[in-house]
Amino acid sequence: MIKSSLENAINNQINTEFYSSYLYLSMSAYFEAKSFSGFAKWMVIQAQEEYTHAMKFYTYLIQKGGLVKLSQIDEPKQEWKSLIDVFEDTYEHEQKVTASINAIVDLALQEKDHATVSFLNWFVTEQVEEEATVQKIVDDLKLIGDNNNGLFMMDRELGQRATTASSVTV
């Protein structure tokens, strides 16, 4: 049986991951409206990955005998100033997610719940990758600036993002 403090923290994280999925889908819709179909596809896959993150927490909580409590998902932002603004927001959001996962690790250590610490390790590693990937996109967009050819090429490149195994399995 999982401690109620961790049950609450994981339920909050389920909401955070579903919100992340919703936010990235909103970003995808923004890109579609601007006719950047590659950026839009990249964000749809990102949204799918966030859904699987939520479901990993969901499944784990049930396996540990906890009670899943789904809560209201906040409305995501719908407008951004530019492409780079979207990815800067993404980076900032991922940093918040990292802090939130680290806080659950701290709690699991405090509660001496080794199984939960072990479960969370996957997310700790995943966050390093997520932050690095988004930071690279921000850096590339800064280099490209207003160069239309560069933006066109980057849209093509991001549109090649394949659905990864982790985005389709829980």
Please tell me the distance from the alpha carbon of residue 23 to that of residue 137, in angstroms, as a whole number.
Answer: 18
Please tell me the distance from the alpha carbon of residue 2 to that of residue 6, in angstroms, as a whole number.
Answer: 7
Q: Return all residues near 100 (Cβ < 8 A) that are at least 6 apart.
A: 12, 13, 16
Nearer to ligand FEO, 133 or 150 (CB): 133
Nearer to ligand FEO, 94 or 155 (CB): 94
- Cβ(45)–Cβ(113) under 8 Å? no
Of 109-168, binders to ligand FEO (CB under 6 A) are 130
If binding is defined by CB under 6 A, does position 50 make contact with ligand FEO? Answer: yes
Nearer to ligand FEO, 70 or 152 (CB): 70
- Cβ(78)–Cβ(26) under 8 Å? yes
Nearer to ligand FEO, 19 or 31 (CB): 19
Longest dimension (CA), the chain: 56
If binding is defined by CB under 6 A, does position 20 make contact with ligand FEO? Answer: yes
Residue 148: C-alpha distances to residues 20, 62, 79, 141, 145 (Å)? 29, 49, 21, 11, 9
If binding is defined by CB under 6 A, does position 88 make contact with ligand FEO? Answer: no
Distance in Å, CB of 112 to ligand FEO, minimum = 26
Give the CB-nearest residue to ligand FEO. 53
If binding is defined by CB under 6 A, does position 7 make contact with ligand FEO? Answer: no
Nearer to ligand FEO, 46 or 141 (CB): 46
If binding is defined by CB under 6 A, does position 94 make contact with ligand FEO? Answer: yes
Q: Helix-strand-coil percent breakdown of the chain, rounded to 5? A: 75, 0, 25
What residues line the site for ligand FEO (CB under 6 A)? 17, 20, 50, 53, 94, 97, 130
